[in-house]
Amino acid sequence: MDTKELLKKVRKIEIKTRRLSDHIFGGEYHSTFKGRGMTFSEVRQYQFGDDVRSIDWNVTARYNEPYIKVFEEERELTMMLMVDVSGSELFGTDQQFKNEVVTEIAATLAFSATQNNDKIGLILFSDTVELFIPPKKGRSHVLRIIRELIEFEPKSKQTNLAEALKFLRNVMKKKAIVFVLSDFIADDYEHTIKIVSGKHDVTGIRVFDKREEEIPNLGMVQMQDEETGDLMLVNTASKKVRHNYSQFYQEKVKYYKESFSRSGAGTINCRVDESYVKKLLGYFKGRG
């Protein structure tokens, strides 16, 4: 992709996702993810309706009239976006590929965090960590993240979520808001997600295509495994083949839901032909 085309794509995503974060998600994000606590701001005169528990008795005694302590939320947080860039993310049968929807969701979340003056970092992973961008603030930083999401070409097409979570645990020493964006066709990550969720506020966003859920009856078809590159002839007319695939897929989905739930992490399921806006808003309001 040449520079001109890349910048055009980045700008298009910025316009769409920033509008969403400015008008819809900014307030929801702020109310959902709280700051680290309350810090003292000032002392002012008591007004009718103020909480009497906030009265500063020392200042009140000094001036012979009631004064209260005012506290403000210590707001600054860090958001980490963990994005699966393995081969299966290139799948798509409708208007968009999964990775395109993932990019839009990540950009929307990043601009929502920026609007609240939070830092944003990025981890791109396959079966290893392909790219790490340390958390920073600002629009230019978010635009860099969007550029990487659009044009990054991973070295591997396979997936190892556990390795990515271990990397996060090692680099993020303070509590962070973590969004993991993937189709979660992966294994053996429950133990690691439990450890990470014990320290960070973790949400898994599963992005999937409806055609992945089951194989249609198309007769004998040559298929390629996007993660291994292997070619194989598959008899999709066989009920057993279709049943086995459907069972395999549902087991992965069940493992994802149960692993995150048992770890105290949140989950969002977003099909590429559905509105991710409604999914995110519903999740934020449910937590707010």
Rounded Cα distance, 73 and 64, in Å: 29
List all residues 6 or more positions away from 211 whose beta carbon is below 8 Å from its beta carbon: 93
Instruction: Please tell me the number of Cα atoms within 13 Å of 267 on its side-chain side.
Output: 18
pLDDT of the residue at 243: 82
Q: Which of the four pLDDT bands, split at 50, 70 and 90, describes residue 225?
A: low
Helix axes 98-115, 139-151, angle to 10 degrees: 170
Assess contact for 69 and 115: CB atoms under 8 A: no
Helical (H) or strand (E) element with 142: helix 139-151
Does the pLDDT at position 11 exceed 80?
A: no
At 110-159, the pLDDT tens digits run 988 888 888 999 999 999 999 999 999 988 999 999 999 989 999 988 89
Where in the chain are all domains bearing CATH 3.40.50.410? 3-32+76-287
3-32+76-287 placed in CATH 3.40.50.410? yes
Question: Would you state the structure tokens that stand for residue 45, as one six-digit string?
Answer: 């005169």
| Mean confidence (pLDDT) of the chain | 84
3-state secondary structure of 91: coil
Does the pLDDT at position 189 exceed 80?
A: yes
Q: What is the DSSP letter of 22?
A: I
pLDDT of the residue at 256: 96
Rounded Cα distance, 92 and 101, in Å: 10
Does the pLDDT at position 57 exceed 70?
A: yes
Quick one: which of 114, 100, 83 has its CA closest to 21?
Answer: 114
3-state secondary structure of 182: strand
